[in-house]
Structure 1
Amino acid sequence: MTVEDAGSWQWTRDEYEYCPLRIDGGTSRSAAAVMLSVRAEFTGWELAHVLRYPDGSRRVTLRRRRSPGPSPAPALCL
């Protein structure tokens, strides 16, 4: 299973922070679901959007509520 950071965090004016990911086409739907569930359970991210490409890869956007205080490093979204 390969997951790539699809870009840096995107900050908006709302109360959420976003983390874009890309999951390769060789990753099964169930494996991707397990990976995203674990990420949600232990780091507080939730699924905001999924876009599936013809080659089977997926662009996933995770989000979580912003926390007060200093922002964590972008690498922590993975």
Structure 2
Amino acid sequence: MADAARGDDWEYAPIRIPSTTGLKAAAQMLSAQAGVGGWELARVLKYADGTRKVVMRRRRRHEHLPQPIL
């Protein structure tokens, strides 16, 4: 999902990680996305039920790389 409304040159991808996913496993998944797709961590929200909402971002010049697959 690109953030074209603000006119910046970042592309954003929201990811929801279930509470049943451990911190170590979540970190490994996000690290793999960063390595393969050129993504970086932009924001993390942790909810009371343990669910995490992660927003990854990358420069638009990396649009040819794959989207997150989590």
TM-score by length of 2: 0.83
2:67 maps to 76
Spell out structure 1 runs of 4+ moving beyond 3 A.
Answer: none
Residue 10 of structure 1 and its aligned partner are, at CA, apart by 3.8
Q: Percent identity?
A: 45
Mapped partners of 1:38, 1:44: distance in 2 = 10
Confirm whether residue 11 of structure 1 aligns to residue 3 of structure 2: yes
Instruction: Choose between structure 1 and 2 for higher RCO, CA contacts under 8 A separated by at least 6 residues.
Output: 2
Residue 76 of structure 1 and its aligned partner are, at CA, apart by 2.6
The structure whose residues are more often helix, as a share, is: 2
2:18 maps to 24
**Unmatched 5+ residue regions in structure 1?**
1-8
**Unmatched 5+ residue regions in structure 2?**
none
